[in-house]
């Protein structure tokens, strides 16, 4: 009310019919349809442009470089559209123009300015005429160390995305790749998976070039060969095959190359993916390639006649073929006195057996064959079991499951929380369940010994032990000691039948023709008595040079 007058409010659509909700919805629907059709037309145009670019290009190539600089830049921008970290730098030079294309963050831009851009801008020599030799001009007037000329456009683009710089000149279809790679990386540090007391502490990092340099720095043998391959249809990940040409077993390198070439996958980020794809038995719980994080470990394997596989982006190298004896060895075996190293190795073998079969033996003896125990121990165990409400089999499975959950949680937790989780886990497993009368205290001791024993093996083998442990426990819970022995027999047969690039993982241990390998496999003899390389790997030269000295 205002001075006797009434103010009336009406909908906007009353005055403007086009503003009605129904009309607005119709317009929005039409706009969505137009947007959808526009996007479809854009995709069709892009597909047509790509087809037109491929008309003159070889198969599997996106296009071919021309002698027109603007056309080359347009082709590159089309292929690399929405890649805003790709930098295009045009230079006005004497007699023509040049184009630099590189990825920001992957390229040493200071070095590019000093050794490429500055020399070109200060050059008083005219760019060669179209059709003339441009390679000599580039070699003479650019100070960069690594200059390469590649024909395939797909390879050129892949190298550029990896950190190298493309250099193109107007009037020339030849493209130069300049080595200006520089990116953020982790420095060489200590090994995270291979602990050592007296040996070197340097370990591989995620950069392939650094890892190769770590090998070269330790040995100056020209027979140490490095062969670079590209793996992954989309990622183009670089992998390096390392081997000693006058030692590697004939046919082994060719077999490794053949299997890697047969790998069909879009992206490779870890060495384990290659390990799984080149393995002949993917359903086996045991690894078929040895893992090396330390350059000295890899070199020892290479000079035994084996082949190493290093993958860019992962600090863990692969070694093939792999056997049970090689995967149970450690650097500390050779940095202590022979008797001490032999003792350490024997303890490792014993721990591997306990890590798999100790819970099954406990269940077998306690539940099926208590008469095998001394009377006092049998009475003591019976008294402890009388306080718990569950049978031994359920107790064992419950504790194994708790142990597996605990180990997985420790691996996944942030580093700062590991200590707290360890205290909580130890309190729950070691104290609470016993005081609550849920678990037999002797079983807690058995599970704790099993966990500690499994930590003496490498991580890959320890995972296999965990799988076989559950299988063995199931067999023991059904057949007692007979089930345990059957599981042991089955595991042994499987390891003997399991082959890593033609070599049995465990079969060499029972091969009478390979008994001489025991001196550096089962035991650890002094180096003066170990003058031959392992026969199982078939090295071309079995004699170790330099072991005859006093």
| Per-residue pLDDT tens digits for 202-231 | 888 888 888 999 999 888 888 899 999 988
Predicted pLDDT at 15: 61
Average pLDDT (471-497) is: 91
Does 495 lie in the same domain as 377?
Answer: yes
Does 496 lie in the same domain as 371?
Answer: yes
Q: Could you tell me the CA-to-CA distances from 193 to 275, 315, 403 in Å, in that order? A: 18, 10, 21
Q: Is residue 2 part of a domain?
A: no
Predicted pLDDT at 243: 93
Q: Is residue 274 part of a domain?
A: yes
Q: Could you tell me the CA-to-CA distances from 213 to 113, 208, 245 in Å, in that order? A: 26, 9, 18
Predicted pLDDT at 390: 75
pLDDT band at 550 (very low <50, low <70, confident <90, very high): very low
Q: Which of 140, 157, 178 is the last residue of a domain?
A: 178
Does 399 lie in the same domain as 316?
Answer: no
What residues contact 8, with CB distance under 8 A and at least 6 apart?
A: none
Residue 160 half-sphere exposure toward CB, CA atoms < 13 A: 27
Does 318 lie in the same domain as 246?
Answer: yes
pLDDT band at 330 (very low <50, low <70, confident <90, very high): confident
Contact 311, 274 (CB under 8 A): yes
Contact 128, 32 (CB under 8 A): no
Residue 244 in tokens: 């000693």
Kindly report which listed range (2-11, 153-162, 258-267, 269-278) carries the lowest average pLDDT score: 2-11
Does 139 lie in the same domain as 78?
Answer: yes
Q: Which of 90, 103, 174 is nearest to 132 (CA)?
A: 174
Does 115 lie in the same domain as 229?
Answer: no
Q: Is residue 217 part of a domain?
A: yes
Q: Could you tell me the CA-to-CA distances from 398 to 362, 385, 395, 450 in Å, in that order? A: 14, 15, 5, 14
Does 171 lie in the same domain as 105?
Answer: yes
Does 167 lie in the same domain as 74?
Answer: yes
Angle at 434 between CA 429 and CA 438, to 5 degrees: 100
Residue 219 in tokens: 């040995």
Contact 201, 184 (CB under 8 A): no
Q: Which of 178, 194, 222 is the last residue of a domain?
A: 178
Q: Is residue 542 part of a domain?
A: no
pLDDT band at 310 (very low <50, low <70, confident <90, very high): very high
Average pLDDT (508-528) is: 80
Q: Is residue 471 part of a domain?
A: yes
Residue 374 in tokens: 């001394």
Kindly report which listed range (74-78, 357-361, 402-406, 486-490) carries the lowest average pLDDT score: 402-406
Residue 134 structural domain? 69-178
Does 352 lie in the same domain as 484?
Answer: yes
What percentage of the chain has pLDDT greater than the value 70?
Answer: 87
In the chain, how many domains are there? 3
If 0-12 CB within 10 Å is exposed, 13-18 middle and 19+ buried, where does residue 424 land? middle
Does 351 lie in the same domain as 494?
Answer: yes
Average pLDDT (139-161) is: 85
Mean pLDDT of the chain: 82
Instruction: Report the 10 Å Cβ neighbour count for 339.
Output: 11
Average pLDDT (446-462) is: 84
Does 232 lie in the same domain as 130?
Answer: no
Helix (H) or strand (E) holding 543: none
Query: Residue 188 gets which letter from DSSP?
Result: P
Between CA 354 and CA 332 the distance in angstroms is: 22
Predicted pLDDT at 532: 81
Q: Is residue 13 part of a domain?
A: no
Contact 536, 514 (CB under 8 A): yes
Query: For the chain, how far is it from start to end, CA to CA, in angstroms?
Result: 117
Q: Is residue 91 part of a domain?
A: yes
Taking only the tens place, the pLDDT of each residue in 111-124 is: 888 888 888 888 88
Predicted pLDDT at 158: 85
Taking only the tens place, the pLDDT of each residue in 5-45 is: 555 555 555 666 655 667 767 777 887 888 777 777 766 66
If 0-12 CB within 10 Å is exposed, 13-18 middle and 19+ buried, where does residue 447 land? buried
Q: Is residue 14 part of a domain?
A: no
Predicted pLDDT at 486: 94
Q: Is the pTM of this model over 0.75?
A: yes
Q: Is the pLDDT of residue 1 over 50?
A: no
Q: Is the pLDDT of residue 454 over 90?
A: no
Average pLDDT (317-337) is: 86
Does 270 lie in the same domain as 374?
Answer: no
């Amino acid at each position: 009310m205002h001075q006797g007058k009434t103010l009336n409010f009406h909908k906007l659509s009353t005055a403007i019919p086009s503003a009605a909700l129904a009309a607005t919805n119709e317009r929005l629907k039409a706009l969505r349809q137009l947007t959808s059709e526009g996007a479809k037309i854009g995709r069709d145009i892009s597909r047509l442009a790509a087809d037109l670019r491929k008309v003159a290009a070889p198969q599997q190539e996106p296009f071919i470089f021309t002698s027109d600089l603007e056309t080359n830049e347009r082709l590159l921008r089309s292929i690399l559209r929405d890649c805003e970290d790709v930098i295009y730098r045009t230079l006005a030079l004497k007699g023509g123009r040049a184009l630099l294309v590189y990825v920001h963050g992957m390229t040493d831009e200071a070095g590019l300015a000093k050794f490429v851009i500055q020399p070109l801008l200060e050059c008083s020599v005219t760019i060669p005429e179209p059709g003339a030799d441009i390679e000599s001009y580039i070699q003479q007037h650019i100070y960069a160390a690594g200059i390469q000329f590649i024909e395939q456009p797909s390879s050129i683009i892949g190298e550029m995305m990896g950190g190298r710089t493309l250099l193109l000149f107007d009037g020339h279809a030849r493209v130069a790749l300049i080595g200006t790679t520089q990116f953020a990386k982790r420095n060489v540090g200590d090994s995270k998976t291979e602990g050592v007391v007296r040996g070197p502490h340097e370990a591989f990092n995620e950069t392939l070039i650094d890892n190769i340099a770590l090998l070269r720095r330790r040995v100056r043998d020209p027979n140490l060969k490095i062969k670079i391959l590209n793996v992954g249809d989309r990622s183009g990940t670089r992998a390096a095959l390392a081997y000693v040409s006058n030692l590697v077993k004939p046919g082994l390198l060719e077999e490794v190359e053949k299997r890697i070439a047969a790998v069909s996958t879009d992206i490779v980020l870890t060495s384990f993916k290659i390990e799984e794809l080149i393995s002949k038995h993917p359903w086996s719980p045991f690894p078929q390639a040895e893992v090396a994080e330390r350059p000295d470990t890899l070199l020892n394997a290479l000079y035994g006649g084996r082949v190493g596989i290093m993958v860019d982006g992962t600090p863990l190298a692969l070694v093939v073929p792999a056997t049970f004896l090689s995967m149970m060895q450690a650097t500390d075996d050779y940095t202590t006195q022979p008797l001490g190293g032999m003792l350490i190795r024997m303890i490792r073998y014993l721990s591997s057996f306990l890590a798999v079969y100790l819970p099954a033996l406990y269940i077998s003896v306690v539940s099926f064959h208590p008469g095998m125990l001394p009377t006092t121990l049998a009475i003591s165990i019976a008294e402890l079991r009388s306080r718990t409400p569950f049978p031994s089999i359920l107790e064992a499975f419950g504790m194994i499951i708790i142990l597996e959950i605990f180990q997985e949680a420790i691996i996944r937790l942030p580093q700062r929380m590991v200590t707290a989780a360890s205290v909580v886990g130890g309190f729950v497993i070691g104290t609470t369940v016993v005081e609550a009368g849920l678990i037999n205290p002797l079983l807690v001791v058995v599970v704790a010994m099993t966990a500690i024993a499994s930590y003496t093996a490498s991580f890959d083998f320890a995972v296999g032990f965990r799988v076989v442990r559950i299988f063995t426990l199931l067999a023991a819970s059904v057949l007692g000691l007979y089930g345990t022995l059957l599981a042991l027999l089955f595991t042994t047969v499987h390891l003997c039948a399991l082959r890593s690039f033609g070599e049995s993982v465990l079969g060499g241990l029972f091969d009478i023709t390979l008994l001489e390998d025991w001196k550096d496999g089962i035991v650890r003899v002094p180096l003066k008595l170990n003058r031959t390389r392992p026969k199982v790997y078939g090295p071309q030269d079995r004699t170790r040079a330099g072991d005859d000295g006093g």
